[in-house]
Amino acid sequence: MTGLNDPTAYLGELAALLRAAGLPADHVAATVDELAAHLAESGGDAVDEFGPVAEFARQLTPGGAGGGGGERPAAPEARAEFWRWTADTFVDEKLLNHFGDEGWEVERVDALGRFVSRRDPEQPQRWEYRRELVTLGREGLDEKLAPDGWEACGNWVIYAWFKRPKAASLGPAARIETPQPAPSRGNFLSRRFYALVAVIALAVVVAGVVVAVRDGEVSSGLGFATGLLAGAAVPVAAIVGFQLWSNRSR
């Protein structure tokens, strides 16, 4: 029952568990609608995104296991805002800190290099980020940065990202009284990135023309350019495939 991969089946069982725990029907419906919208937008697997359904249901129940006591229950995780976005390495660290100041906490980096982020709409806190270049795992960076409050929040190819709450340095000032609306876009590729892509594309075209002129055959140039593009696609596909396997095996 906890290994449901179909979103409809997963959310159906989750709704049944929440109703059995005593949550109002309208609250259960709103929670399930929000989670369904998040899954539709992210395209993720329900179990990967939220964990085993029984455990997730307990998290969404005030008191953690159905008991409320006399304390005010914490805001359910389902009420949090979720957002996936991407940026190139020319601007990602700057944007991470910009959105961190708006309360967005990166939970992980997915197989496509997108930052999977969440924000508590009731008690948003400021976050700060840093990016490190790595070659073999995180190379001891976790232990090195931990004394200063840095926590790993994702890695992709040769980069690792770390986060820490600003509450440690700002205290109450880290609380965001009026959070900005969630961004309406998820793609933040810079002009420098597009310029780099254009330069690479131009280099491939020039190389193809040179080969065609040398051999006196247009097909030679086209074949050479196609081979360059195919050769570039192989390592990219390998990297993405490795990231997909890594995420599945966590």
Residues 6+ apart with CB under 8 A from 61: 18, 21, 22, 23
For the stretch 185-235, pLDDT in tens is 999 989 887 888 787 777 766 666 665 666 555 454 455 445 555 555 444
For the stretch 8-35, pLDDT in tens is 888 899 899 988 888 888 788 888 887 8
pTM listed for this prediction: 0.55
Q: Report the distance separating Cα 12 and Cα 34, nearest Å.
A: 13
Q: Report the distance separating Cα 51 and Cα 57, nearest Å.
A: 10
Q: With contact defined as beta carbons under 8 Å apart, do 133 and 158 qualify? A: yes
Q: With contact defined as beta carbons under 8 Å apart, do 247 and 116 qualify? A: no
Contacts 24+ apart (CB under 8 A), 170-175: 170/126, 174/125, 174/126, 175/123, 175/124, 175/125, 175/126
Q: With contact defined as beta carbons under 8 Å apart, do 240 and 114 qualify? A: no
Q: Report the distance separating Cα 6 and Cα 28, nearest Å.
A: 19
pLDDT of 70 above 50: no
Say what the pLDDT of residue 127 is. 96
CA dist list (Å): 159 to 75, 139, 196, 243: 33, 11, 19, 13
